[in-house]
Amino acid sequence: MEQRRSRCVCCGAKVDKDAADRLVQKRIITFIFTVSELRYTMDFTYGSAAMRDRTVAARVRRQRDARVTEGWVEVKVWVPTETDANDVRKLAAERRAKALALHGLCEEIRTVTPEKAARIAKAIEDHGSAAYNTPSGAVLDLMTELANEGDLQSFARAFVILARAKPANAQFVAAAVPGKISNFLVNHGGISSNDLNNWAADNPDWSAELQRAVRNPDSFDRVVEAMADAIRKRGDKH
């Protein structure tokens, strides 16, 4: 095949255009890969929903919706003086601080052992720690540990408590639940990855269903067991 040649505009040297084109193409591919890595890192760190916010108003609306979903209530009041307004702001700040400290979540805390409650509280306390590559890293690691221990109720309660304390991060953590449960089933439930993948292809809503189910800790383990049974039955038929 005849090579395409031209001269460099800078020095006049002969240039193999085919080789030059390949080099440019390689650099374009490398650039795309680098951008993809950057995008993945940003999505993983801050959550893909946050990256899609095109305006400040969109971000505020998303954050408000997240709080409402987790049971937070927005209160707007008129007060006669600036002093009164400062008192209201102070009270709101105190209530938010209590939520972050897990006060008012004692109902969920009482349903787990003191040891598990302490682990959940510590993971939420470590939210945003530089030791992890995502703000929710401590809770995500704890959920993995609880799944490996076979304690799916505490797994779900850790999510519920995190969602109440940090509602803006709830969607991001919920999105990790299907992957963690898949690993649990393969590593501890006697499910082959091939059977799991085939069943998932036949049940495209399984991920969304798990994300909804994790909000109900008392029944979450039964939901996962029903999923495992369905996967086994499909595998037996094929």
Q: From first to last of its 238 residues, what are the pLDDT tens digits of the chain?
A: 444 555 544 445 554 555 544 443 433 333 323 332 222 233 333 344 555 668 877 767 777 676 666 666 777 788 888 888 888 888 878 876 766 555 555 555 566 788 888 898 899 889 889 999 999 999 999 999 999 999 999 999 999 988 888 888 898 999 999 999 999 999 999 999 999 999 999 999 999 999 999 999 999 999 999 999 999 999 888 7
| 173 within domain boundaries | yes
In a domain, 118, yes or no: yes
Contacting residues for 138 by C-beta, under 8 A, at least 6 apart: 122, 123, 124, 125, 126, 127, 129, 131, 132
Which residue range forms the structural domain that includes residue 143?
A: 66-237
Could you tell me if 33 and 130 lie in one domain? Answer: no
Question: What would the two tokens of residue 135 be?
Answer: 């703000």
Instruction: For residues 83 and 193, state if they share a domain.
Output: yes
Closest CA to 196 of 236, 219, 228: 228
Q: Is residue 57 part of a domain?
A: no
SS (H, E, C) 210-233: HHHHCCCHHHHHHHHHHHHHHHHH
Q: Answer yes or no: do 70 and 155 share one domain.
A: yes
Do 20 and 71 lie in a common domain? Answer: no
Same domain, 117 and 74: yes
3-state secondary structure of 14: strand
Q: What is the model's pTM?
A: 0.64
Query: Residue 17's CB: how many other CB atoms inside 10 A?
Result: 12
Q: Is residue 181 domain-resident?
A: yes
Does residue 87 sit in the same domain as residue 197? yes
In a domain, residue 59? The reply is: no
For the chain, the helix, strand and coil percentages under 3-state DSSP, each to the nearest 5? 70, 5, 25
Other C-beta atoms lying within 10 Å of the C-beta of residue 41: 12
Whether residue 111 is found in the same domain as residue 222? yes
Structural domain includes residue 53: no
Same domain, 19 and 71: no
* Residue 16, pLDDT score: 54
Total domains, the chain = 2
- Asked whether residue 20 falls in the same domain as residue 117, the answer is no
Q: Give the span between the Cα atoms of 202 and 226, in whole angstroms.
A: 15
The single-letter code of the amino acid at 42 is M
| Pair 144, 214 in one domain | yes
Q: Are residues 40 and 141 in the same domain?
A: no
Say if 54 falls within a structural domain.
Answer: no
Identify whether residues 168 and 112 lie together within a single domain.
Answer: yes
134 within a domain of the structure (yes/no): yes
